[in-house]
Each structure stands twice: as structure tokens, then as C-alpha cells.
Structure 1
Amino acid sequence: MNRESIRKRINVLRERTTARGCTEAEAMEAAAKAAELMREHNLSGEDLDMGEEVATVRASDKRLRHRLWAMVAVCTNTRAVTRQLIGSLQVVYVGRDPDPEIAAYLLDVCNNLIDAELKIYRQGSFYRSRRKASTRRKAAADFTVAMVQRLTVRLHDLFRGEIDGARAAKAGVELDRRFPASRSAGPAKPHKVTYDDAAGAGWMAGDRVNIGRGVRGGTDQPLLIGRS
């Protein structure tokens, strides 16, 4: 059983209280077991509040969408590391619960949104008028990068009041502890736009996205993000 599974198991035990319908004997037994597991695995109360969540993405998307992955971490006060798989990547967000879950959900929705808008763009006249596969790839890349840029700006504006440097710093410490061999990939090579028309269409697609609130602030409403 890995550390994350142990952490979740302990938190389940901690929730077995009389206030939640357990008998006093059941609550005491659960508390004792939780304390035993914490001692056995050298976990503190703060450790139990720190979690991780995984979003699986296409490896081919890294070059064009990595800025979105990073902005999601900023907006949710998490830190992220990528793990290479066969044909895909895992973006692992680490931070105080429920921040990693929000981050993975947000990234998944944004990636699906870009895919949907890109599919629509490829049906348009400008894209279809590119005769070569190479020029179509360039147009699609320009569209994607511009849409990512617009989404990152809008997400930052949306979460601006909730960005917490201290919370993010603790997430960074936890990420380093969990992934001690990870290292920064350094700045990515800038994307050179070939088609202004494609980039403009991507920016407008990012601007059309309907983003609603409801992630924190004591509400149980989900984040609403999607096409208007």
C-alpha cells in the first residue's frame, strides 16, 4: 500500500466519529487504528491534509499546452510534476486537499474544451484551404497556442483572489518530498506563429468560453466551464 493510499485510509478512519453515527466504542477503535498507522508510517496531521491527484494527458500536447497545466497549478495553489507513460503523460498535482482534485478536474475540462474547439476550427474554410498536412498542422498549432494563452489569462483573473503564496509554497515542499528526483524542465521553446488568422481564431475561441464560479467559498456548486 503506497503512502497516498495509507493517507486516505487514515482519513476515512478519522471520519468515524460519534457525530457521524458511530458508537463511542467504534469511534475510539477507529481513532486508535488511525494513530497506529500514523506512527507506523511517520505521518503528521499536516501530512494527512496534503494529497495528490492525477490528470492524464496526451504526450503530444505538452509542447502546445504546458502553459495551461502550469497556470492550473498557480490558480489552485498546487504544484505539479509530469510522469511519462507510453503514449501519454500524467500531470500530478500536489497540495492541500481539495486543491489537487480541483486542479485535475480543471485541467481535464480545459483540455476537453480545447479539443472540442479545435475540432470545430478544423471544419472551417481557412484550415481546409491549407492543402498540405504540414501547413494544416501549423494552423492547428497556432490555434491551440492562442487559445491556451487566452484561457490562462482568464483563469488567472478568475482565481486571482484565491491565489495563496504560502499555501502554494507548502505544496512545493510536499511535492519535493514525494518526488525528490524531479527537476525543472526549464523554459519551453517559444512558439512561432505562422498563421495570424489561426491564432486569432484560437484567441476568440478562448474568449468565448463560459467560465462560472462555484469552486470554493463554502459552496457545494461545481466549477462551471464550457462553451456558451
Structure 2
Amino acid sequence: MNLDPTNLDRLRQRIQALRAKTVANGCTEGEALAAAAKVAELLDRYDLSLADVDVRQSSCEQLAYEVQRNKRILLDECVGAIAEFCGCRVWREKDRAGVRWVFFGLRADIEAACCLTEVIDSA
């Protein structure tokens, strides 16, 4: 079932509210189980997963990896593949201090890309 962005946002908020109904948050065990069952029903009805709900609320960020050299190095040939592997975008920025690679995407993806870039650059 296709949802427009407004209805999808309402559904996401409803699912998040239901997911917050836990014993740790003051609900009885029965209330928490009923909320979990409703979440499962909504996800099934709209053919979504929890990842879909969580990712849709995440915003994209950028994270830069600084290279302290002005000339091109072998790392330059790898960065595009690293970004593709990690599911993000990348671009090169250059100034007097050196080169920086800017990764853009979801937080976990850009952190993985920067970490992998650092490992390759160190090697």
C-alpha cells in the first residue's frame, strides 16, 4: 500500500508511540504486549519493517576525512568505492591545508566510510 509522505509520517509517529509502551516506561506487561502486537499488525498491513520506520526519521549528515597532503595519493582512487560500499556519497574538497574527503549519508554509513578510509590510508 502506497502512503503519501504526510500519512507515512503519522504512521511512523504512531508506531514510535506504540514502541515506547514498555514495562520499563510504566506500562503493564499486557499493555506492552498489546502495543507490540499492534506494531506488528501495522508493519504487516503497510508492508514496512522497523528499519523502514527508523531510517525514514533519520536525517543525512556529512563527515569529513582530512588528508594532510596536497598531492594526489593512492587513497584518492579508493574513496569512491568506499563510499559506494558504505552506501553514501563522497566528494573531494581542497584548500591550502590539504585535501578532505566529505562523506554524505546516514550517520552509521558515513562513520563506517571514514573508519574504512582511515584504515586504508594508514596502511
TM-score by length of 2: 0.49
TM-score by length of 1: 0.28
